[in-house]
Amino acid sequence: MRRKAAVLLSLCGLLAVSTLGATAASGAPRTDDDAPAPAGWERVDTQLLNELLVDDGAAPLNASADEPEELPWAVQSMNTGLFVASEQRYAEPYTGVLRARSDSVGGGWEQFDIYFDDASETVTLTSRANGLNVATERNFTGASNGVLRARSEGIGSWERFVLYYHDDLQTFAFRSVVNDLFVATEQNNTGSLQNVLRARSDWINGSWEQFYLY
């Protein structure tokens, strides 16, 4: 059963964990986050997040919570119907790359913790498989530019994403802070990078940029 509030409950539980240091490669977060959302989409800010939490019968965000409650969640590509996994057995430089390739949530490879930073109103994904944060690989070249990979110990602009929500579709979209592009499922790729997640779209053009959260 699809649960649109699953990610929101995770955000609520993990709000207290939002002060990790940035990696050296990540730098300071960008500040140009006032761009209008695509039609029908809303940026998930603190106000919207609290509204959705209350609508779901949960308490609003509480930054004074003593201990975060770890609630792993899963990401499903709307385009393929497959769950996103962190490919732990891939060789460098693709170790930990995110790819929509699993029929079900079988374990840590398909599970993530989500962290909401109240100051920047951005989210960070942490892989349950290796405990590392998901980064947008801005320095990769060609068709690999912008791939998402669980590889960072800290949090900076490479590891931050703006979350969008479509109330009618009950789907979510991620925009990478470091390059201002939306994450897409690369269904037309072949081989080991088929259905890889990559921050490369200027807009939420369709199902490639949409995800269900459980």
pLDDT in tens, 100-139: 999 999 999 999 998 888 889 999 999 999 999 999 999 9
User: Residues near 76 by Cβ (< 8 Å), separated by ≥ 6?
Assistant: 82, 83, 84, 100, 211, 212, 213, 214
pLDDT over 70 (residue 15): no
- The packing angle between helices 6-14 and 46-55, to 10°, is 120
Backbone φ/ψ region at 75: left (φ over 0), alpha (ψ -120 to 50), beta: beta
Q: How far apart are alpha carbons 175 and 211 in whole angstroms?
A: 12
User: What tokens were used for 206?
Assistant: 């369709």
User: What tokens were used for 164?
Assistant: 């969008």
Q: Which residue has the higher pLDDT, 118 or 165?
A: 165
Which pTM value belongs to this model? Answer: 0.81
Cβ(102)–Cβ(109) below 8 Å: yes
Domains, the chain, with CATH or none: 6-18+34-213 (2.80.10.50)
Tell me, what amino acid is at 61? L
Q: How many helices (H) and strands (E) does the chain have?
A: 2, 13
